Amino acid sequence: MSRILSSSLRTLPRVSSKPIIPTTARKAFISSSSSINSNPAFAQDQQPQQDDMPIAVKTAAQWAEFGRHHVCHGLGRIRDHVIVKGEGLDLYTADGKKLLDFTAGIGVTNLGHCHPHVSRAAAEQVNQLVHLQCSISFHAPYLQLIDRLLPAMPHESLDQFFFWNSGSEAIEAAIKVARQATGRQNMIVFSGAYHGRTMGSGALTRSKPIYTQGTGPLMPGVFSSAFPYWHQLGVNPSTSEEELVRLAQHQLDLILRQQVNPKDVAAIFIEPVQGEGGYVPVPPAFLRHLREVCDKHGILLVIDEVQSGFFRTGSYFAIEQIVPELRPDILVFAKGVANGFPISGIASNKEIMGKLDVGSMGGTYSGNAVACAAGVAAQEVYQSGEIGRNVEVRSKQLYKVLNKLASDEKTKHLIADVRGMGLMTAVEFRNTADECTLEGLPEGKSVPKNIGKRVQEYCLNKDLMVLTTSAFDTIRFIPALTVSEEEMDRAMTIFTEAVESVAREG
């Protein structure tokens, strides 16, 4: 891998770093029965040991108890496992369990946990330069990451970049850019959208109240229109795409005629595949319509590919498959960009970014050197072509099983919808609380309660990590994009058993 500026600097003497934990004490814990758990903080027998360790040593159960006492109550978890290692799709717990991870850290470790090429690049970078505040100078990995991302952009106008750490921060950056560039304040978002949890990004989020409840007032000036998804429009799942688009366009039109003048709107934010809204791809006609509305009124179109980017749906960015010629004014990305290293960003064009005041953008850790180096290595893997090919075959394998469950006499009365793109796929279960999901319910069949939660519980008990999504009864599948045929098969066997068991028990 080429590294700008690196060869001359490599000859500089390195300062040796002594381990903080005394070697003798370390050895006592590393030479344990488990080769996976080499973390010195875990006692390998069931007794806590103290010795001269500078950090507390506890059993896995004690660490979990410690976590329950000290980790912020507002942070939820699907299980209280204490994870010590990840490799590919495998996660290892401190008490020796191996889990099959179909969550990928919510669509982050697209190349699998600790992908060797990415981890190696990060490790090398750690010994070159860890941090350089981006307002002090350029640093090499920052520039190299831009160099790697440029050819991956879904439109050639996107050649100006700003990096931040999280998806929410990148959304904050997009809000700021949109307001500065247009001189307008208001934003339009869609029902079911998830753009983050901070005061600006949280104001754009419309998937569940929990993310911002009790914390208002949030950023004002946000208008919400219906996403072209049957739940949001109160129609049945069999409603044609054409009709969904017509209804959603009508809602947007009403907003622009009754609630906010288009000349006061800075930007329209949309996820090409709604993530926390239930893994719902946007119909191409609706996205084209948004581009037209934006062009007509001088509004910026912001495409949030935080969850759908980096081959999650089979292409670098989902919009390439939905509307290949689409020109986003701002593209927002995060998650898969560096396979788990915290970095996010926005890309826009010269005209828009050129309107920013110098010094208005920045952040201490924005574009951290180690995260950028990991991002460069991740792009090298994405650009090899293998990841996209794997998503294509593995998603076919996944859909085959899900479609079979949706048509099988034993289980079809449980399933309302199978949808998504690539390895961003979901099953929505019927729910008596949502009348529209009961469309097509076979005669004489009743719908049990909480199907999704029960299916998830079954899978978790079989050591398959799966997530629900949205305010509706939905399970999503977002494994690493490197998932093998055998891993997909194993996961689908457990999932099928889970659905069949709910069908049997009723």
Residues that bind ligand PLP (CB under 6 A): 106, 166-168, 171, 194-196, 271, 275-276, 304, 306-307, 334
The whole-angstrom separation of Cα 197 and Cα 183 is 24
Q: Which is nearer to ligand PLP, 343 or 451 (CB)?
A: 343
Burial of 357 (0-12, 13-18, 19+ CB in 10 A): exposed
Q: How many residues does the chain have?
A: 506
Q: Which is nearer to ligand PLP, 364 or 461 (CB)?
A: 364
Q: Which is nearer to ligand PLP, 109 or 166 (CB)?
A: 166
The whole-angstrom separation of Cα 322 and Cα 135 is 37
Least distance in angstroms from the C-beta of 185 to ligand PLP: 21
Burial of 476 (0-12, 13-18, 19+ CB in 10 A): buried
Q: Which is nearer to ligand PLP, 271 or 487 (CB)?
A: 271
Do residues 28 and 22 touch, judged by C-beta distance below 8 A?
Answer: no
Least distance in angstroms from the C-beta of 64 to ligand PLP: 24
Cβ neighbours for 325, distance < 8 A, ≥ 6 positions apart:
none
Least distance in angstroms from the C-beta of 103 to ligand PLP: 12
Cβ neighbours for 130, distance < 8 A, ≥ 6 positions apart:
368, 369, 370
Give the nearest residue (CB) to ligand PLP.
167
- CA–CA distance from 324 to each of 228, 285, 316, 382 (Å)? 19, 12, 12, 19
Q: Which is nearer to ligand PLP, 276 or 417 (CB)?
A: 276
**DSSP string covering 400-416, please?**
HHHHHHHH-TTTGGGEE
Least distance in angstroms from the C-beta of 277 to ligand PLP: 9
Q: Which is nearer to ligand PLP, 168 or 395 (CB)?
A: 168
Least distance in angstroms from the C-beta of 108 to ligand PLP: 8
Do residues 94 and 37 touch, judged by C-beta distance below 8 A?
Answer: yes
Q: Which is nearer to ligand PLP, 370 or 494 (CB)?
A: 370
Least distance in angstroms from the C-beta of 477 to ligand PLP: 15
Token couple for 291 = 């581009």
Q: Which is nearer to ligand PLP, 82 or 306 (CB)?
A: 306
Do residues 179 and 406 touch, judged by C-beta distance below 8 A?
Answer: no
Q: Which is nearer to ligand PLP, 271 or 329 (CB)?
A: 271
Least distance in angstroms from the C-beta of 506 to ligand PLP: 34
Q: Which is nearer to ligand PLP, 307 or 349 (CB)?
A: 307
Least distance in angstroms from the C-beta of 198 to ligand PLP: 7
The whole-angstrom separation of Cα 339 and Cα 311 is 12
Instruction: Give helix 140-149 / helix 369-382 axis angle, nearest 10°.
Output: 30
50-52-56 Cα angle (round to 5): 45
Read off the DSSP letter of residue 259: I
Least distance in angstroms from the C-beta of 18 to ligand PLP: 35
The whole-angstrom separation of Cα 50 and Cα 54 is 9
Least distance in angstroms from the C-beta of 94 to ligand PLP: 25
Q: Which is nearer to ligand PLP, 200 or 275 (CB)?
A: 275
Least distance in angstroms from the C-beta of 208 to ligand PLP: 12
Q: Name the strand (E) or helix (H) holding 475.
A: strand 474-477
β-bridge pairing 344-348 and 90-93: unpaired
CA 325, 387, 311, 276 dihedral sign is positive
